């Protein structure tokens, strides 16, 4: 007779037998069936039945090591024999569910050696795992993470490489830190490009303009995204002495860049993304902010207005504002700052574009302003202000992993010590990436190594708040954002200083504010809040600092039917409530239907305040949360300020002004449904209201013959995902599919 010290798993491995797993499984069956009131009673009965299960196994396996299936069969029998018929039913359903999941994993053809979910495996298989010529995965998730860790550790001293490989592998495989997707695609491969974000100069010369187009193509072919400031280009109609003709203006050249992007498949599988910026005082600013009102025009660009403090003060004080020719600085037009601002607000309300980049705010903390000049452009999603030819590689800490039970079982707390440890590893990892990466052109390679700019960010913040029992749209929520990001940033800066002593400082530190203050850093900047659409699905956590859009939705992982997903923290909280079984079922049904719980009358306010979703939160709180993170982020923050469809232009106006006043470096907004229709319903049935503060070009559709051919990756908010058929939503400043994680500009 065996002493049941071992058990055979389904994959044939023999592991230690754990009695506690049987207790937990039986207890979970009681909870699912609504049997036995009270936590203590359920546990006692589960312990009693587990002893019976073990006794039966002792007698039945005849000295052999039992299999998982044999143990589960006995658990079913014991539950039935004990009269726990509903619990037995729940346990059988649990087994069937997990059987379905195992079958789905088999269909994927990806060996799961890390205990990942089907959806995680699907994302990894689609995006990052290596495949043979027949499309079969030839790499496991563990091997993928090992490949990345080993490649990055090669930048360490030879006798330390193995040590750092293990440390990097540990934090990545535990999904505490996940590098940007370019690391998974490029590390240890032919590409070897690890950077995500680039900014290219566009000078007012024909040769320089088309040099930039060439560089754009090379960057996007390698899988990167590009940002441009077109403000140096002379305005439309301006005299061109060299040719004797007249300039066509920045917008006409943006169309050239857009067309080039449309011909380059980014990274071999997705369309490229760009950011186009025009300074607020450029004479063509009105044409610029309306350039995307025609469907299909400039479809590969996010656009933002480069706003100054002078302009924003003019808006608030109802002052006039000058538009100047960039060629000679001459004032060509004077207009009401408020009128121009209203035009920006109107377009943003209608289409989501343009966003705003606050140039003076960005440059107030630019440590190399006097040596490299002002920052005037950003990457596609706006979180990375960069100098011409500058670059940044990205990675994010999964905050959901750093919340643990405290001494009081009912409370949770942040594991600050482990967060600091992982932050240090992540900074070293990304700094190594600067040297390990290949770059598409020589100018970028030179600037990358001269600045050594990295972008360590966070994701899973919503999950952290749910675990801590803190509402996102509260002062406590913003305070937690500041506290977390301050700890991450301070730790990252300290590690950069330490690395500066160990490996040397970035070469452009000469003449910088750092040098003046005696700060010897390895990196020009260290922290960024970047989009994490894809890697957050790999980590199975909420995106970036965005709040969740729904507590329940369907994830399309294998086929169109998908898997229903219920937020695990909401489920845990629900189980602690003294609700009748019918009420629990009603909650799940209503949440599955609407994605929300705030309208369920019998749920306590404490639950409804914590488990809000993105559209339960006012735009003001979205802006305040962004500002909270920006306060302790050296680069910038990518976030979408979400509005309900019923929001007014005044609501958008307030958000733009508040973002500037609170010190945000930029803002992107999206009103639900604004891409599909611009009409709002009021309280009276069939009564339609169209808002308009200023005259703007109507949204137009190109004739069918002029539409570009359908391509994988050409999708924006409000449109159908080209990969799974789900609906694209604006998340972190970029159109993202919440079902499969597709995004053309996420990392």
Catalytic residues: 379, 381, 383
- Measure the CA–CA gap between 736 and 532, rounded to whole angstroms: 10
- Measure the CA–CA gap between 87 and 71, rounded to whole angstroms: 16
For 410, which DSSP code?
A: T
- Measure the CA–CA gap between 520 and 577, rounded to whole angstroms: 54
Q: Go through 657-673 and write b for each residue having 16 or more CB atoms within 10 A of its CB, e for each that does not.
A: bbbbeeebbbbbbbbbb
3-state class (DSSP) for residue 494: helix
DSSP E strand stretches across 506-624: 552-555, 563-566
| 8 Å CB contact between 450 and 204 | no
Q: How far is CA 736 from CA 535, 556, 717, 724, 733, in A?
A: 12, 14, 7, 12, 9
Taking CB atoms within 8 Å and a gap of at least 24, the contacts of 336-344 are: 337/311, 338/314, 339/694, 340/280, 340/285, 340/286, 340/311, 341/311, 341/315, 341/653, 341/656, 342/649, 342/653, 342/693, 342/694, 343/286, 343/289, 343/290, 343/694, 343/696, 344/289, 344/305, 344/656
For 539, which DSSP code?
A: H
Place of tokens 């080209």: 722
Max CA separation in the chain (angstroms): 99
Strands 197-199 and 225-229, by their bridges, are parallel
Place of tokens 């002029």: 706
Strands 197-199 and 403-405, by their bridges, are unpaired
Please choose, from the candidates 651, 656, 693, the residue with its C-alpha nearest in 3D space to the C-alpha of residue 672.
651
Q: How far is CA 453 from CA 4, 502, 604, 746, in A?
A: 55, 17, 47, 19
Q: Quick one: how far is CA 705 from the chain centroid?
A: 36
3-state class (DSSP) for residue 641: strand
Helices 416-436, 161-173: axis angle to 10 degrees equals 120
Cβ within 8 Å of residue 523, ≥6 positions away:
427, 431, 451, 452, 453, 454, 496, 499, 506
- Measure the CA–CA gap between 124 and 307, rounded to whole angstroms: 39
Helix H or strand E encompassing 295: strand 294-295
Angle at 104 between CA 99 and CA 109, to 5 degrees: 125
- Measure the CA–CA gap between 253 and 259, rounded to whole angstroms: 10
| 8 Å CB contact between 125 and 138 | no
- Measure the CA–CA gap between 627 and 659, rounded to whole angstroms: 7
Place of tokens 């359920």: 42
State the distance between the two ends of the chain, measured CA to CA, in whole angstroms. 55
Please choose, from the candidates 183, 116, 176, 174, the residue with its C-alpha nearest in 3D space to the C-alpha of residue 149.
183
- Measure the CA–CA gap between 396 and 534, rounded to whole angstroms: 12
Please choose, from the candidates 343, 330, 358, the residue with its C-alpha nearest in 3D space to the C-alpha of residue 285.
343
Number of CB atoms found within 10 A of residue 344's CB: 25
């Amino acid at each position: 007779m065996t002493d049941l010290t071992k058990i055979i798993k389904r994959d044939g491995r023999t592991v230690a037998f754990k009695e506690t797993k049987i207790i937990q499984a039986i207890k979970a069956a009681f909870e699912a069936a609504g049997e036995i009131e009270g936590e203590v009673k359920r546990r006692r009965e589960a312990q009693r039945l587990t002893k019976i299960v073990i006794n039966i196994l002792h007698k039945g396996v005849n000295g052999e090591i039992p299999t998982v299936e044999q143990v589960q069969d006995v658990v079913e029998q014991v539950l039935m024999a004990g009269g726990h018929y509903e619990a037995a039913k729940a346990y059988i359903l649990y087994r069937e569910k997990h059987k379905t999941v195992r079958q789905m994993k088999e269909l994927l053809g990806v060996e799961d050696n890390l205990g990942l979910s089907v959806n995680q495996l699907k994302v990894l298989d689609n995006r990052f795992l290596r495949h043979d010529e027949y499309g079969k995965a030839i790499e496991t998730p563990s091997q993928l993470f090992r490949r990345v860790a080993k490649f990055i550790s090669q930048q360490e001293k030879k006798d330390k490489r193995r040590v750092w490989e293990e440390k990097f592998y540990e934090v990545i495989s535990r999904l505490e830190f996940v590098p940007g997707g370019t690391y998974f695609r490029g590390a240890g491969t032919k590409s070897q490009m690890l950077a995500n974000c680039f900014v290219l100069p566009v000078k007012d010369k024909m040769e320089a303009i088309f040099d930039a187009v060439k560089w754009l193509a090379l960057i996007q072919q390698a899988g990167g995204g590009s940002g441009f400031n077109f403000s140096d280009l002379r305005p439309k109609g301006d005299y061109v002495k060299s040719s004797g003709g007249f300039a066509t203006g920045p917008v006409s050249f943006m169309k050239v860049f857009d067309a080039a992007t449309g011909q380059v498949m980014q990274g071999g599988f997705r369309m490229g993304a760009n950011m186009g910026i025009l300074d607020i005082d450029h004479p063509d600013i009105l044409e610029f902010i309306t350039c995307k009102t025609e469907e299909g025009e400039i479809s590969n660009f996010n656009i933002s207005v480069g706003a100054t403090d002078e302009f924003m003060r003019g808006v608030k004080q109802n002052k006039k504002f000058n538009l100047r020719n960039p060629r000679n600085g001459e004032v060509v037009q004077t207009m009401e700052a408020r009128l121009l601002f209203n035009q920006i607000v109107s377009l943003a309300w209608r289409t989501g574009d343009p966003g705003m980049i606050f140039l003076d705010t960005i440059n107030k903390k630019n440590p190399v302003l006097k040596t490299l000049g002002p920052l005037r452009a950003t990457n596609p999603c706006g979180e990375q202000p960069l100098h011409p030819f500058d670059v940044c590689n990205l990675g994010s800490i999964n905050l959901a992993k750093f919340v643990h039970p405290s001494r009081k079982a009912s409370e949770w707390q942040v594991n600050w010590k482990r967060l600091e440890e992982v932050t240090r590893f992540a900074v070293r990892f990304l700094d190594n990436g600067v040297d390990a990466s290949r770059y598409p052109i020589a100018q970028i390679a030179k600037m990358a190594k001269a600045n050594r700019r990295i972008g360590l960010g966070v994701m899973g913040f919503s999950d952290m708040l749910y675990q801590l029992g803190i509402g996102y749209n509260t002062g406590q929520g913003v305070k937690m954002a500041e506290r977390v990001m301050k700890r991450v940033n301070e730790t990252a800066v300290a590690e950069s200083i330490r690395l500066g002593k160990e490996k040397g400082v970035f070469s452009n530190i000469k003449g910088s504010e750092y040098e003046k203050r005696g700060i010897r850093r390895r990196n020009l900047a260290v922290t960024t809040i970047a989009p994490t659409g894809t890697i957050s699905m790999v980590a199975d956590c909420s995106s970036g600092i965005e709040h969740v859009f729904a507590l329940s939705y369907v994830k399309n992982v294998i086929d169109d039917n998908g898997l229903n997903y219920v937020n695990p923290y909401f489920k845990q909280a629900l189980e602690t409530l003294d609700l009748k079984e019918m009420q629990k079922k009603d909650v799940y049904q209503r949440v599955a239907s609407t994605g929300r719980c705030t309208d369920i009358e019998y749920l306590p306010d404490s639950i409804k305040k914590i488990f809000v979703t993105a559209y339960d939160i006012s735009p003001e709180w979205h802006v305040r949360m962004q500002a909270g993170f920006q306060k302790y982020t050296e680069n910038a923050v990518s976030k979408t300020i979400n509005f309900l469809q019923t929001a007014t232009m005044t609501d958008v106006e307030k958000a733009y002004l508040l973002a500037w006043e609170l010190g945000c470096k930029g803002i992107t907004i999206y009103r639900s449904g604004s891409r599909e229709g611009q009409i709002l319903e009021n309280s009276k049935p069939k009564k339609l209201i169209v808002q308009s503060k200023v005259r703007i070009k109507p949204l137009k559709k190109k004739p069918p013959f002029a539409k570009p051919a359908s391509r994988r990756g050409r999708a924006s908010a409000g449109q159908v995902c080209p990969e799974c058929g789900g609906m694209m939503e604006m998340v972190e400043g970029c159109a993202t599919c919440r079902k499969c994680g597709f995004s053309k500009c996420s990392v």
